[in-house]
Amino acid sequence: MKKSVIIILSLALLLPLSCSKTIPQSEPRLVVEGWIETGGHPMVRVSESFEVEMGKEISLANLVENLAKWARVTVSDGDTTVVLTGFVDQNYFPPYVFSSSKITGKTGKTYELKVEYKDYVATAKTTLPEPVPIDTVYVGEVKDSTCVVVCGFTDPPQKGNNYKVLTRAMAFESHYHHSCLALTDDEKLNGYTEFFLFSSLRLTDFISIPNIRTEGDFWVKLCTLDQEAYAFWKHYETILYANTFNIESGTAMLGNVNGALGYWVGYGVDKPVCINLDNLPPTQ
């Protein structure tokens, strides 16, 4: 049996999705992964989905040949519209992204994305919410070569905030990845709260505590999200855990991109926080 595979390149995860009654499995889809954060420039990755047989190995050639290197990618902030440049970036796998230093993320602005490739036309928009600073990052339990890392912050009194944590272990990772389970809205938050952080790159094993490797500098970003971006990540994690534990999800990936699968997300970021994980004594 074959199942449709969506290539979510920046997450380094392949999600086998169940059959769809409306989309034939043989039909490829455009996949867009894009984000912009406070003070940063837009980053966009474009590819086509493809099918694999269950249990069949996916080669590097499969990934590279499905990259949309000749896509036309534009981003507008309402005042300026910029055509992004595609280039090789070894920090990502496969190493190809679209970006431009001519447009920068600013709090409160809405950014519109347009991707044109072959017969595809995909559009999306996202807003950069007000950032919320990190109060503290600290180490909890330490066991063998892993530890628990905790991120604490204070949710402001106004409702409607959504939060997500991105992390980067400098000794192992070339860029930031999402921390699984570190995602929430503020419906039940009141003041100070904490996230226990998990490495998304270790989800091939059963989720366990501790989960973070004790080596080198560990960087943490607390991101605020608009409602559409939050809905995407919440649905993504639902599908991720369903497939991690071999539960048939029975649904396609929810996204906020019209005309394609994937996401275009604005991250409201204050200042990343770094903690060093070298030479940690085991918890007694």
**High-pLDDT (> 70) share of the chain, %:** 78
As given in the structure block, the two tokens for residue 145 are 């070569």
Is residue 29 within 8 A of residue 49, CB to CB? The reply is yes
pLDDT of residue 268: 97
pLDDT of residue 184: 94
pLDDT reading at 54 higher than 50: yes
Chain Cα centroid distance, residue 167: 10
pLDDT reading at 245 higher than 50: no
- What secondary structure letter does DSSP report for 131? P
pLDDT of residue 156: 93
**High-pLDDT (> 90) share of the chain, %:** 55
CA distances to 45, 48, 92, 113, 216 from 15, in Å: 17, 14, 18, 24, 30
- Phi, psi dihedrals of residue 78, rounded to the nearest 5°: 95, -25
Q: Which of 38-42, 81-85, 125-129, 144-148 has the lowest mean pLDDT?
A: 144-148
pLDDT reading at 13 higher than 50: no
pLDDT of residue 73: 98
| pLDDT grade for 190, boundaries at 50, 70 and 90 | confident
pLDDT of residue 283: 84
Delimit the CATH 2.60.40 region(s) of the chain. 134-224+270-276
| pLDDT grade for 235, boundaries at 50, 70 and 90 | confident
- Phi, psi dihedrals of residue 64, rounded to the nearest 5°: -65, -40
Question: Which residues are 114's β-sheet partners?
Answer: 74, 123
| pLDDT grade for 188, boundaries at 50, 70 and 90 | confident
Exposed / middle / buried, residue 88 (Cβ in 10 Å: 0-12, 13-18, 19+): exposed
| pLDDT grade for 135, boundaries at 50, 70 and 90 | very high
pLDDT of residue 242: 63
| Residues near 229 by beta carbon (within 8 Å), at least 6 away in sequence | 126, 162, 256, 263, 265, 266
Does domain 134-224+270-276 correspond to CATH entry 1.20.120? no
Chain Cα centroid distance, residue 107: 20
Token look-up 């071999």 returns 246
pLDDT of residue 86: 96
| pLDDT grade for 178, boundaries at 50, 70 and 90 | confident
Chain Cα centroid distance, residue 244: 17
pLDDT reading at 57 higher than 70: no
- Phi, psi dihedrals of residue 62, rounded to the nearest 5°: -60, -45
Chain Cα centroid distance, residue 188: 24
